[in-house]
Amino acid sequence: MPTITSLSPTSGPASGFNGVVITGTDFTGPATVRFGTTATTFTIDSSTQITAIAPPGSGTVQVTVTTAAGTSNGVPYSYVSVPTVPTVASIIPGSGPVTGGTLVTLTGTGFTGATAVSFGATAATSYFVLSDNLLVALSPAGTGTVAVTVTTAGGTSAGVPFTYVPVPTLTSISPTSGPVTGGTTVTLTGTGFTGATAVFFGILPATSFTVNSDTQITAVAPIGLGTVPVTVTTAGGTSNGVLYTYVLLPILLLLIPNSGPSAGGTTVTVTGVGLSGATGVSFGATPATSFTVVSDTQITAVSPAGVGTVPVTVTTAAGTSNGLPFTYGSVPAIPVVASISPNSGPSVGGTLVILTGTGFTGATAVSFGATPAAFYFVFSDTLIIALTPAGAGTVPVTVTTAAGTSIGVSYTYI
Q: Which CATH class is domain 3-80?
A: mainly beta
Percent helix, strand and coil across the chain, each rounded to 5? 0, 60, 40
| pLDDT tens sequence across 8-24 | 999 998 889 999 999 99
Question: Greater confidence, 276 or 48?
Answer: 48
pLDDT given for residue 332 in this prediction: 65
CATH number of 336-413: 2.60.40.10
Distance CA 380, CA 358 (A): 9
Specify the pairing of strand 394-401 against strand 409-413: antiparallel
Contact 147, 161 (CB under 8 A): yes
Digit-coded pLDDT (tens) for 225-251:
889 999 999 988 899 999 999 988 899
- In angstroms, rounded to a whole number, what is the distance separating the alpha carbons of residues 221 and 176? 11
Q: Which residues have C-beta within 8 Å of that of residue 282, sequence separation ≥ 6?
A: 288, 312, 313, 315
Mean pLDDT in residue range 207-212: 97
* Chain mean position to CA 195: 12
**Peptide bond before 93: cis, by omega within 30 degrees of 0?**
yes
- Report percent pLDDT > 90 for the chain: 84
The per-residue pLDDT for 154 is: 86
Assigned fold of 87-165? Immunoglobulin-like (2.60.40)
Query: Which range has the worst mean pLDDT, 116-130, 198-212, 314-328?
Result: 314-328
At 8 the pLDDT is 95
d(CA 30, CA 46): 13
Q: Where in the chain is the domain with CATH 2.60.40.10?
A: 3-80, 87-165, 169-247, 251-328, 336-413
The pLDDT score that the predictor gives to residue 124 is 97
Q: Which CATH superfamily is domain 169-247 in?
A: Immunoglobulins (2.60.40.10)
Mean pLDDT of the chain: 93
- 3-state SS class at 253: strand
What is 251-328's CATH number? 2.60.40.10
**Amino acid in position 29:** G
| pLDDT value, residue 181 | 85
The residue-averaged pLDDT of 333-338 equals 91
